[in-house]
Chain A
Amino acid sequence: MRAARLGDDEAYRRLLILVSAWLRAVARRGLAAAGRPREDCEDIVQETLLAMHLKRDTWDGTQPLEPWLRAIARHKLVDHLRRRGFADHVDIDDHVDTLAAPAAGEEGAGADARQMLAGLPERQRRIVEGISIEGRSAREVGARLGMSEGAVRVALHRALKALADTYRRGRS
């Protein structure tokens, strides 16, 4: 994170990948404890990653990173469970759901997220798709859409905020 603050993109990517693996374990445990189906797991991971990214200025650089990360993860997990109507007890019906539901891994997240991207304005959606799914740089996407690199970055930031809002309001 420190390196990322100094402008090291690769360090930031490594950190996010590392954190998402850790988050996946945390989310799985949380969902299991609450008796929720595991297919929500990748949703929670992505929502938490988005929050961590958008709120990264709230990390105090003089403090260790882990407590901060854990606080954000807990906040998002609780938020998610509350939204799904989990009221601090494990419901039998939820277990039935789990057993009946097909074991979905990360693949399940694909369809979900495409739905979420579809909720974005056309231009923002194409920018996010270009950068994340097609793996282009901001400059390439800008050239294709006839926008400056700076404008692409601004639009990307707005799109990420909008995605975080959609998660927060709970789309289901």
Chain B
Amino acid sequence: MDWNELIQEHGIPEWPYSIRYGEETEVGADVLVLGGGIAGCWAAISAARKGANVVLVEKAATVRSGGGGSGCDHWINTPHPRSTITAEEVVEWELEFSGGYTNAISRYIAARESYETLLELEAIGGKIRDAEDEFKGAPFRDEETKFVFAYDYVNKIHFRVWGTTFKPALYQECKRLKVHLYDRVMATSLLTQRGRAGTKVVGATGLNVRTGEFFVFKAKAVIDCMSRHQRNWCFSTELRGISNFRPPQIVGDGHAMAWRAGVEFTMMEKSRPTSFGSGNVFPHYGHGNPLNTWFPCTMVDARGKEIPYVDRDGKELKTEQERSQPAPGQKFMGERTTVYKHKRPELTPDLLERVKKGEFVLPLYADLSGMSEHERKAIWGLMVGEEGRTRIPILKTYTDAGFDPQKDLLQSYMLLGSDPMRGNVRPQDRTGGEIGDAGGPIVDWDLMTNLQGFYVAGDALFAANYHYHAATTGRYAGRKAADYAAKAGVPSLSRVQVEEERTRVYAPLKNGGDIEWKELNAALCRVMQNYCGEYKNEELLKIGLIWLEDLQKNEVPQVCADNPHKLMRALEVANILTCDEMIIHASMARKASSRYLDFFRLDFPEIDAPEWHQWVTVKLEDGNVKTGALSIDFWGPLKENYEKHR
């Protein structure tokens, strides 16, 4: 029975949960973790192991929530005792690929601590080895440790893992360590010492998204594990869950509340066109392709003719095995990069021209049946099966529908549009935080922001979106926050600050307005597409800001909600608006263009001018936006600083 049948047969049902609007509960903690995804669970576990009293606040349900809750197929960039690649080399390829625009602090921490984090994960129940010998004898397996690897079978630093086991294991460990879990509670604001913005963070407020109950969390240290901004350029009012790479409840709540509290951000001006944020995608990992989870899948055209892979020098590779070997003279291959030094093989880059000439006929297909059994089972079963959003949506659903990887060719949508990596997309269909390196709070070597006691871990850091990175930085921030909390004084909350937040949070229930959150979200995306889209200039950006201020003043007060779920969504869109403001202010501050940031100013057309190879910073101070700059390598010597602070 669906909802339409229900209302016809039984009438409109009452809200199924007790309504507790306005009721307030105060909770105390040494360490407060906001967001219970991969980073949040690791932060909570790590702080609890140091003896801290830990509270974890999660908007969804911790057991499976977050970008990595449903699975993870590869745990990359992990130097280990049996590899010859160092942490410095791992960070080197990441910095090369991003043109320096990535957080080398968190990436270096991740590279140094990734292997020990992986072993800890195994100790609490995560499956990281081929203990059943399913892949015995495969070229990507280490026979002694039974680890299996991806991409570079010589250097073996990118682990293939059984990530559907990870989140439940982390959840059980949180419970075992007596972490106090507050599921279905959305963090809404940070509380600062005596209510003053720009000072020490001493807690947060929250809203139960089923009952509407209000929470005041008081803590000595707070860790932001709420991921990053989404839905700033693309939003489908209908296909709205589909049109999110990350879970749709990830919208930048953490960014917005940190901004309001005075946290300094960087790289918020970065965005790029992709269909990841639109409703025009196919199920992720659910069509034939030669990229990450599916690499090194054999691709064929409509006549069954194989599309060649080429190495970084353009040399055609004749065998399946060569796709996972470094090129002659190449030390190792990065997980993904366009830079020569660490580039891995790819489908021939002149594919489109050869299709147009008739050499290959569309559509293309993934031909798992033509691959070795080990590789076929690694792609279809291990990678597609353990990666997030694949076990049920792809492996089970396709298998139930009759797809057989030994007999069938799965269609690819490459060159037909709708492919998230290679399909043509409209230039204004952009993503900010959905994938890759994205803007976030600036942190020091303790992963602490400019606000004392406020730490950041996982995807909220201005670095890439990887499970290993979220896990290791969560684990690191957790222990740092616990150390800090052990020495911190008693937090002092401001009742005025709490009352102001209560008023803001409950306003959509009372305003009697005539628009809901979806319409505002769609309007915000239109503003960003038009005024902060493919091309930018001062005039466009100014109009964008005027629009945002107008919407904030005149339309936000009209956004209504009639139950706690819709109230949550309304508050999320208010946060999206705040993130949009941050993005436009950062875009105005960067008076230059950059290929690496996919940032093009018509009024400053020179691409990647050396004097602009720096971080642009933005923050709110006394109600005004302050912009600044930071040296591109402000983190200093990586090894030395890590060892001083770890």
Do A and B actually bind? no
Residues of A near any B CB (own CB < 8 A):
none
